[in-house]
């Protein structure tokens, strides 16, 4: 059988229609017989033609020729036709597909598959360690679950068995724990790999680095981990032991390296270790370091200057008093953006090796002024309440002192404004004398919204120096992503090496997250990775079971077609979702190289 195009002239116009024709043998020889007329229209589209040609093939009893294309072919595959009992049609084995597929694309985009294949220990394992590293990182990127949760629940609910070719039976908790042990020795080599990958993908130059410290707490006593100590908790969990994590990122927020410190380690004491780590990996160079005021000490700054490193750091607010005159001057201020101004000031001792950048922000001024007003009113009301109670009933000095100290400690912004004197008679407190210091109020009003930066850079433009320092918001966002989106906290592992490996997996997931944000930004789609992951989570793979006439059932493993919003997003990202999971691994390889 074949399709024939027919033309007919009527009324001066030419009409076209299609017919399905078959060849038959007769006593007079072969003849052609019209089986069906397909309509009077200019022509069939490609899908319709392919469908009728496939019907002709089936009616002729000819076998279907194997497809020579792949999932990226532009032309559609010829359809397969069958007679199906619609009442018996069902969907089985629904699996999460979109997020893990995107995660695999990011994994390969960063070249992590090549890195672990080259560096991971090779053996006779049924599932190689490079694949285990991928599963651990994808689990952290997509699900934020523990290794036990990944093996018992998450992996079996995803399409990773199709994507990686590893069945769920071979992904068990002990295998994942051993995978953590295999990952940890590769940490330093991983830093170097990511550095080169960032350079090739994003053009990063690594001449300007950001450094900060955060903490994450333990669930449990962690008695076998000497780094688990109690200290200042950024998570407001002073009741738990913790470790501190120092992170180095690029101005784009790409994580470059990290170090784990004991939980009671002061931030200021970690700088030399991080600088030494970066110099051992990448050599000594005139690298600009941006750090907040928690890292600042004269010893640290001397250490950086000895290594010919440049820095721009925050400065304790108490140092503003030194520049009170410049603060009140209206000249030499440069506007960075609406509501933010900066001024470059020489070192007060006349030393040429350092300068200061004085900054003031209207929004920050309004915020600090409102905080001071609220705390001043609250503190005055409490002090007056204590005074009234003492005048009615005198009390012992010690509990009164503790009571006053407690309220002063709760209102730190306002405590310096008040002078409080306890009135004493017969060794008892009989009242309070409360007075506000006008000079302190004037200074508070003048210094609100201002802060000071310290640098040894030769740059003369204070606007540029301010922009360098404000990049520290990138590392703060990296901490938020790591803790909230990637499950860095809390720590459930108790052994030191397992804790270190857990943090390394979170570091890998953070690199994938930042890579996604850079990918979106390059495509003009913003940088909201969370929204993209929510959209990708709507894509699932499934088995469609068809009761076919003449046989038992046909089982088709398919990927659901994304909704229009998700399809548009994928099109802008140049990311194509395959329809059949069987050849997905080849698709991921192609996407990773884009």
Cα(314)–Cα(322) distance, integer angstroms: 15
Whether residue 337 lies inside any domain: the answer is no
Whether residue 25 lies inside any domain: the answer is yes
Q: What is the pLDDT of residue 286?
A: 65
Look up residue 192 and give its two tokens.
């170097």
Q: Tell me: the pLDDT tens digits for 431-482?
A: 999 998 888 888 888 888 999 999 999 888 999 999 999 888 888 899 999 9
Q: Rg (Cα) of the chain, in Å, rounded? A: 35
Cα(287)–Cα(275) distance, integer angstroms: 10
For residues 210 and 314, state if they share a domain. yes
Which of 385, 412, 447 terminates a domain? The answer is 447
Q: What is the pLDDT of residue 190?
A: 95
For residues 373 and 424, state if they share a domain. yes
Q: What is the pLDDT of residue 349?
A: 72
Element at 245 (helix H, strand E): strand 242-249
Tell me, what CATH number does 309's domain have? Answer: 3.30.420
Positions of the chain with pLDDT under 50: 41-43, 58-59, 61, 64-75, 583-594
For residues 216 and 317, state if they share a domain. yes
Which of 494, 519, 551 terminates a domain? The answer is 494
Cα(499)–Cα(191) distance, integer angstroms: 18
Q: What is the pLDDT of residue 358?
A: 92
Using an 8 Å Cβ cutoff, are 522 and 508 in contact?
Answer: no
pTM score: 0.78
For residues 441 and 463, state if they share a domain. no
Using an 8 Å Cβ cutoff, are 282 and 314 in contact?
Answer: no
Query: Quick one: how far is CA 398 from the chain centroid?
Result: 51
For residues 368 and 440, state if they share a domain. yes
The total number of structural domains that make up the chain:
4
Beta bridge partners of 454: 313, 356
For residues 268 and 312, state if they share a domain. yes
Whether residue 258 lies inside any domain: the answer is yes
Cα(244)–Cα(503) distance, integer angstroms: 11
Cα(509)–Cα(453) distance, integer angstroms: 33
Task: Give the structural domain span for 569.
Answer: 86-95+533-592
For residues 300 and 368, state if they share a domain. no
Q: Is 280 exposed, middle or buried (0-12, 13-18, 19+ CB in 10 A)?
A: exposed
Q: Tell me: the pLDDT tens digits for 320-329?
A: 888 888 887 8
Cα(523)–Cα(520) distance, integer angstroms: 5
Whether residue 184 lies inside any domain: the answer is no
Whether residue 81 lies inside any domain: the answer is no
For residues 475 and 388, state if they share a domain. no
For residues 443 and 295, state if they share a domain. no
Cα(89)–Cα(261) distance, integer angstroms: 58
For residues 300 and 369, state if they share a domain. no
Using an 8 Å Cβ cutoff, are 580 and 557 in contact?
Answer: yes
Beta-carbon contacts of 593 under 8 Å, excluding residues fewer than 6 positions away, are: 108
Q: Is 299 exposed, middle or buried (0-12, 13-18, 19+ CB in 10 A)?
A: exposed
Whether residue 161 lies inside any domain: the answer is no
For residues 383 and 463, state if they share a domain. no
Strand, helix or coil for residue 215: strand
For residues 437 and 374, state if they share a domain. yes
Q: What is the pLDDT of residue 46?
A: 53
Alpha helix (H) residue ranges in 539-580: 564-572
Whether residue 302 lies inside any domain: the answer is yes
């Amino acid at each position: 059988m074949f399709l024939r195009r027919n033309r007919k002239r009527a009324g001066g116009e030419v009409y076209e229609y299609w017919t399905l024709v078959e060849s038959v043998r007769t006593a007079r020889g072969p003849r052609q017989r019209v089986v069906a007329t397909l309509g009077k229209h200019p022509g069939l589209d490609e899908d319709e033609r392919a469908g009728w040609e496939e019907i002709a093939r089936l009616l002729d009893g000819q076998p279907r020729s194997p497809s020579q294309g792949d999932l990226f072919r532009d032309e559609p595959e010829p359809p397969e036709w069958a007679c199906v009992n619609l009442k018996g049609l069902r969907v089985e084995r629904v699996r999460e597909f979109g997020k893990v597929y995107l995660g695999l694309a990011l994994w390969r985009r960063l070249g992590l598959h090549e890195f672990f294949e080259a560096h991971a220990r090779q053996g006779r394992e049924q599932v190689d360690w490079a694949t285990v590293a991928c599963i651990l990182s994808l689990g952290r990127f997509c699900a934020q679950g523990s290794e036990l949760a990944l093996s018992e629940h998450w992996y079996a609910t995803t399409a990773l068995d199709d994507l990686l070719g590893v069945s769920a039976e071979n992904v068990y908790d002990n295998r994942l724990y051993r995978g953590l042990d295999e990952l940890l020795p590769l940490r330093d080599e991983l830093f170097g790999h990511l550095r080169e990958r960032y350079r090739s993908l994003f053009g990063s130059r690594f001449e300007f680095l950001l450094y900060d410290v955060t903490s994450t707490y333990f669930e449990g006593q962690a008695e076998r981990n000497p780094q688990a100590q109690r200290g200042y908790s950024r998570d407001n969990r002073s009741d738990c032991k913790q470790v501190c994590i120092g992170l180095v990122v690029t101005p784009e927020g790409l994580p470059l390296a990290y170090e784990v410190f004991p939980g009671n380690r002061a931030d200021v004491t970690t700088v030399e270790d991080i600088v030494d780590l970066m110099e051992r990996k990448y050599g000594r160079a005139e690298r600009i370091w941006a750090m907040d005021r928690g890292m600042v000490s004269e010893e640290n700054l001397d250490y950086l200057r000895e290594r010919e490193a440049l820095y721009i750091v925050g400065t304790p607010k108490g140092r503003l008093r030194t520049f009170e005159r410049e603060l009140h001057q209206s000249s030499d201020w440069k506007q960075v953006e609406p509501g933010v101004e900066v001024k470059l000031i020489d070192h007060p001792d006349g030393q040429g090796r350092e300068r200061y950048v004085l900054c003031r922000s209207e929004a920050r001024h309004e915020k600090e002024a409102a905080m001071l007003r609220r705390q001043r009113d609250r503190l005055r009301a409490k002090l007056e309440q204590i005074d009234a109670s003492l005048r009615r009933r005198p009390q012992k000095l010690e509990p009164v002192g503790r009571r006053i100290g407690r309220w002063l400690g709760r209102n730190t912004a306002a405590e310096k404004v008040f002078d409080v004197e306890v009135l004493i008679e017969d060794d008892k407190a009989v009242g309070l004398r409360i007075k506000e210091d006008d000079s302190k109020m004037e200074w508070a009003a003048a210094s609100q919204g201002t802060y000071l930066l310290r640098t040894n850079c030769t740059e003369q433009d204070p606007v540029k120096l301010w922009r360098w320092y404000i990049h520290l918001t990138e590392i703060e966002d990296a901490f938020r992503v790591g803790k909230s989106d990637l499950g860095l906290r809390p720590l459930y592992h108790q052994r030191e090496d397992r804790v270190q490996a857990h943090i390394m997996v979170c570091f890998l997931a953070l690199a994938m997250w930042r890579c996604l944000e850079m990918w979106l930004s390059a495509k003009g789609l913003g940088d909201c990775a969370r929204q993209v992951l929510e959209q990708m989570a709507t894509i699932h793979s499934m088995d469609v079971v068809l009761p076919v006439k003449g046989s038992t059932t046909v089982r088709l493993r398919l990927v659901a077609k994304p909704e229009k919003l998700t399809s548009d997003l994928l099109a802008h990202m140049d990311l194509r979702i395959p329809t059949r999971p069987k050849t997905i691994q080849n698709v991921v390889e192609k996407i990773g190289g884009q």
